[in-house]
Amino acid sequence: MEENEKKKAKTSLSRRGFLKGAGLTTAGTVMVNSGLLAFDGKFGPPKGESYGPDAVRVSMKVNGIIRDIICEPRTTLASALRDHMGLTGTKVVCDRGSCSACTVYLDGKPVNSCMTMAMDVGDQEVTTIEGISKNGELHPVQEAFIEHDASQCGYCTPGMIMSCVHLVENKKNPTLEDVKHATRGNLCRCGTYPHVFKATLDAAKKMK
């Protein structure tokens, strides 16, 4: 797959564009007009066909496991994970990309799953909060969240951890400013921020 074609595929069905453009197709029909399925056809719908409003089969790799679901083409990744796969660790709070509670990784990069269409995932690997601990062993950030009491009600915690894990996995010796930058989109109403900062810096230190 050509790199620019792949890029186009990833952005072709962003929810914002979808919501804007899909005003014409009120029943939720989606025209797939890009190279979305230039790969082997295992994941997502084939190129050039229109879908909806009826449910379609969507496949994606989530936390290392290939998942097949039947969902309407308008389904967001957040809804696919929560309502169709039972992966309810990912939370939906604002449902418009303003709070980061629904953060998951696509090929290791944090995205708002409420702003990503399930059909748009394609062959990108999805990682959710349920996939952060490996073989029953907590990630150092998760350990540190427990140690420093970085959860109160806990509803922002999965998204917060996704942001912080991404930081410590990609930046050595992060500073307090780095942590604030990494979590700048994560809304917490209980006010766990000070403990989130401490926990993440502590985890980064232990990972050295």
Using rule CB under 8 A, residue 129 touches another protein: yes
| CB of 150 vs another protein, minimal distance in Å | 8
Q: Tell me the backbone φ, ψ of residue 173, rounded to 5 degrees.
A: 50, 55
Asked if residue 159 lies in contact with residue 186, where contact means CB atoms within 8 angstroms, the answer is yes
Q: What is the dihedral angle through the alpha carbons of 23, 28, 31, 37, rounded to the nearest 10 degrees?
A: 130
**Helix (H/G/I), strand (E/B), else coil: 191:** coil
| CB of 181 vs another protein, minimal distance in Å | 8
Contact region with another protein (CB under 8 A), list: 4-12, 36-44, 118-126, 188-196: 188-196
What is the side-by-side strand order in the sheet with 109-112? Answer: 65-71, 56-62, 126-127, 103-106, 109-112
- Which amino acid, residue 194? P
How many CA atoms within 13 Å lie on the side-chain side of 170?
Answer: 12
Q: Which of residues 32-71 bind another protein (CB under 8 A)?
A: none
d(CA 110, CA 71): 23
Which tokens in the block code for residue 21? 């453009």
Binding mask 97-126 for another protein (x = CB under 8 A): xxx-x-------------------------
Among 10, 195, 203, 204, binds another protein (CB under 8 A): 195
Among 88, 125, 169, 171, binds another protein (CB under 8 A): 88
Among 36, 60, 90, 126, binds another protein (CB under 8 A): 90
Contact region with another protein (CB under 8 A), list: 13-21, 41-49, 80-88, 117-125: 80-88
* Residue ranges in contact with another protein by CB under 8 A: 28, 72, 74, 82-83, 86-99, 101, 128-130, 132-133, 138, 142, 145-149, 151-158, 161, 179-181, 183-197
